[in-house]
Structures are given as C-alpha cells and as structure tokens.
Amino acid sequence: MGQFLIIAEKPDQAAKLAAPFSSTKKAGYFEVKPNTYFPDGALITWAIGHLCELKAPEEYNPSWKKWTLEALPIIPDRFEYKVTKLKYKQFNIIKALVNRADIQEIIIGGDAGREGELIIRTILKLCRANKPMKRLWISSLTENAVKNGFANLLPEEKTRNIYYEALSRSCADWLIGINTSRLYTVLLKQKGVKDVFSIGRVQTPTLALIVKREHEIANFKPEPFWEVEAEFNFEGKILKAKWHKDNNSRVLEERQAIAIANFCLNKRVEITSIKEETKEFAPPLLFNLSTLQATANKAFKISPQHTLDILQKLYLKGLISYPRSDSQFLTNEEAKTLPNIMENLSKIDKYKNLLPPPTKSILTNKRFVNAQKVTDHHAIIITEQLPNLSKLSTEEEKIYDLVVRQVIAAHYNNAIYSYTTIHSLVEKRAEFISKGKVQIEEGWRKVIYHTNANSPADKDELLPLLHENEHGIVTKAKERKSETQPPNRYSEGNLITLMKTAGKHLEDTELEKVLSKTEGLGTEATRAGIIGTLKDRNYIEIKKNQVFATTKGMLLIEALGESILTSPSMTAKWEQRLSEIGEGTASPNA
C-alpha cells in the first residue's frame, strides 16, 4: 500500500492534523504511526503560507528590469513560479518527501479554499510530483473534524477548478499590477512627480471610492437650518413635540422659526391622532468574515486585518470554524451539532444565564440553515471544543465572545418593540409630531447588546398615556439652530462593507448582479489585506479608526481620471470570469 504524504498550509495546522494520531516530530514533518485511517502510516509536512511566488519581469527577460514605456506591455509567454527566497529550506524538505519511493499518494491539506488550493498545488507542480492525489476538505480543526475529513477524502479533480481560478486571479493581478504601475510611474515622472505608484486590480477602485468621499467632504458647504421644539401640558402630562409641515421639520430662515415658536406659545393644542405599530426584529444572521470584521471594528475598534489574525489563531486552536468564509448560513450537518455545543457552553460562567436557549435547535429555520447558500464554507461558528478562557488574550476572548453570542442569539425569539407616533395641532393650524418606543419583548437582545444588526437604537423616549382629541396648553416653544453635516468618513469596518457592496456604485444593472454574486471588490479573504496594502503604500492613513486619503492617493486617482482602472465594473468583469473558471464553465487558458 505505501504511505500517504499530507501537505498542510502552515506548521500549526499540520500539528492539528497530526493531533488525533500517535506521531513523532521530525525535521520539517510529522511521522504518523499506522492506524485505521492510514494502515501503513503517513507523513504530515507543511508549507509556510506562500512558499512560491510568480517570477519577476526581469527573470523572464533582463530588458524588462528597467521601467520604460517602450517595454510595455509586459506579457510573459507563460507564467512561471519560483520558490520564495527565505523559504527554500522547507521547500526542499517537501520536495524530498514527495519523491520518496515509499510515498504512494499525496493528500492536499491546505485550507479548504482557493488560496489553500493554489499554495499546495503550486508546490507540487514545482516538485514535479506525479503521484495520485486526494483532497482533505474540512471546515474546522477539532479532532472530530480532522478524523471525519480523513475518512471522507475528495478526489483531487473535485477541487481542481478552484486551483485554476486562484492561479488565473494571481496572473491577472500580476499583469495589471506590473504594467499599470510602471506606466503611471513613468508618466507621472515626466510631469515632475518622483515616486513609485503601484496600481492594482482591486486596490485602485477601492482607493477611488475613498478619494471620492474625500472630495465630497472637502467640497461640502454646511447650510444652517432651524427646527421648532415644543412642550405641551395635558393636565399635568408633559409631551415633547417637534413642528413639521408635510413631514419636513426644517425651516431655512431664523425669523420664520421664531415666528412659529412665538405663535404657538401658550396656545391651545389638541391631539389629532395616535398611531401604534408593533415591529419584530429577527435575530441577526450568523457571521461571515466581513460582517464579523465590521462588527468587531464597530464594537471594539479592532482593525479588519487584526480581526482576521485573531480569528486565524482561534481557528488553529480548534475553537471556531474556518474564518475566511463568505456565507452566513449552515448546512444541516452543522446545525445538528449546535444543541450539543450549546450544552457545552453552559459550563462557562458568563454564558450560564443565557442557556439553554428558548429554541432547542435551528435545524428547520431557513434564516440560518440553507445548504443552497453555503459556498465553499458555512458561516463562522464555534466548535464543540471549549476554550480555557484564562488562556485566551483579551482580544481573542472578545472576538470569541462575538461568535458565541451570534450563535446563541440565533436560538432566541424575535425582539418586539411598539412604536407610537402622536400627531397634534396647535390653534388648529401648526402641526407637531412626537415619537417614542417601548420594548415589549427582549428576545435575542438579551444576548447581543452592542449589535449593529437590524435593531432599534436604545434611546427610549417614553411617551405619556394620552388619547385622541385630548386638549392641552403649549408651555414651551423654542427654535433650535443646526446645520447640514458633511458625509461621514469611513471607518475601517465601513471600508470592508463598502468593498463588499461596490455594486452600490455601479450604474450598470447587469454588472451589479455580478458584483452581488461575486461579492464586490476583492474576496472575503483578501479585503483586509488590500486595506493594509493601501496603508503600506501611503495612499490612505487611518487616524482614530477613520480613513483619510493622502495627497499621494488623491494624486494617483486624479492622474487616472475616468479610467477603467478606477471603476468597480472592471473588477466585476474579472471576478465574473474568475468565478466561472472556479465553477468549471470557463477556460483558464483563454
């Protein structure tokens, strides 16, 4: 039979794959003793992330080293990978293992996603491996998940297309990056600007959106307006109200506002209508990476990249499922494990009072469980493995807590609020409005308190109990000056959401569909990194969690003008073709 060679993406991931079995650690790999899964034993080795990278232009052609307009466009006949300089040692270990005579079959054990596929298959290609291969495809690194994965290995052709997709994506990014960066750097130099300008398929449209907001803020002229606020007394019951006409409360001239206030003071007021409306708010959807990044940024000001790093640590500790997921749904299999996980959680003090939840299982709840909406991965959830909270860093505990609460909340009832709107009339002509809300049922709000989910803000304006046609007196009436506000700056969390919905900025409806399907600019796994790139290249800076475009960033976008390089639709077209390659309906060669 011979042994299996399993190649993981990172050292700590390899350790998790070896954990369920008895094994000894060697230089650069684990040796697993024979067991029911591997009757002749197995070797588990690892990459260190991207062990290989695309060659630089001058490695194809020495004349491409110099940045000149004449050399453009730079298009190699075929793309070639090379081993990254600092990672030769591990590459050689893998290569020796791949070519060992007793290794019969290779198992691709990278993260279950496009990048994991690309990393391992590129190494195997450079090792000239021609042994049969299988694919380990798992969503978490707990012992159960690992054993289950080894018991159900996929044939490698099942994931071959997503390798082609990732490969095409990296070649596409190379072509755009190398050619356009040189072109604009040289052209700007002719205009007297000496700096290196890097341009990218995803980073540049993202930068353009940030610069656009920068201009909106700079060109904004605040306009003053006034509102009239009053207090009515209905035999001791006090009601606050705001003047409005046709639902508009703003008055553009101060003297008109003063006139309204003076007219109303000490006059009779009558309640013309009281409307009550009950609204129910369903628990928030489970997290995918971008909603979790946006929530962590809003709740704790943690940057999207840092959130991803923390999630990666929690994933490698076996505490949460695969973090780079773009789905907010589960399949039946995961939903079945949740009641057990909940029971486990009740052993942790801070979750005791929330468990057991009102609903035992969400198996039949389409809001959370829908296999059609699960792509490579399901939503980010916790695993059956309980953490030792004292061993987690403060930030790990915060992020773990967000995931826990999102999962518990899904098992709670809707939150219900009653909204009241009171219309009143002063002297039969000046209209006023008052609004308030009361929480009728707390529901899932008991579990999540710092949410940005679809829920009302917590400032309850409690209204007195009044009825229609009740009469009272205007005891106070005052005009208040405000001014129109410029659009807000993006926070880093907003930026993730903005990239995800770049479709909002598209005029073309067809492409809008593509972007909503391929999820905007970049992919779930790359967005945080792209924001990092924009920071590193000094195109944006972040102060107090707010995003500012730098002079350099503004200059580049100005130089590009109405270029295809700044438009989200260009990336949408690429993403469409890439996702077709991943689905096997388009040719990577073409």
362 HSE (CA, 13 A, CB side)? 27
Q: Which tokens hold the place of 218?
A: 């700079």
Q: Among the options 81, 184, 315, 322, which is catalytic?
A: 322
* Other Cβ atoms within 10 Å of 515 Cβ, number: 25
Helix axes 492-500, 304-316, angle to 10 degrees: 80
- The CA distances from residue 93 to 26, 27, 29, 42, 135, in Å, are 11, 8, 8, 15, 21
Report residue 510: phi and psi, to 5°: -60, -50
Report residue 442: phi and psi, to 5°: -70, -40
Q: Which tokens hold the place of 335?
A: 């939903």
Strand-pairing partners, residue 231, are: 240, 476
Contact 226, 251 (CB under 8 A): yes
DSSP class of residue 588? S
38, amino acid identity:
F
* Other Cβ atoms within 10 Å of 195 Cβ, number: 11
Strand-pairing partners, residue 481, are: 226
Q: Which tokens hold the place of 507?
A: 């005029």
* Direct distance between the N- and C-terminal alpha carbons of the chain, in angstroms, rounded to an integer: 40
DSSP 102-156: TEEEEEEES-SSHHHHHHHHHHHHHTT--S-EEE---S--SHHHHHHHHHTPEEG
Q: In what order do the strands lie in the sheet with 154-155?
A: 23-26, 29-32, 42-46, 3-8, 103-109, 133-135, 154-155
In the residue annotation, 322 being an active-site residue is answered as yes
Q: What gap in Å lies between CA 16 and CA 9, rounded to an integer?
A: 11
Q: Is 179 exposed, middle or buried (0-12, 13-18, 19+ CB in 10 A)?
A: middle
Q: Is 193 exposed, middle or buried (0-12, 13-18, 19+ CB in 10 A)?
A: middle
Q: Tell me the helices (H) and strands (E) count for the chain, helix number first.
A: 18, 17
301, amino acid identity:
K
Report residue 483: phi and psi, to 5°: -140, 155
495 HSE (CA, 13 A, CB side)? 36
Contact 106, 4 (CB under 8 A): yes
Q: What gap in Å lies between CA 251 and CA 423, rounded to an integer?
A: 19
Active-site residue list: 322
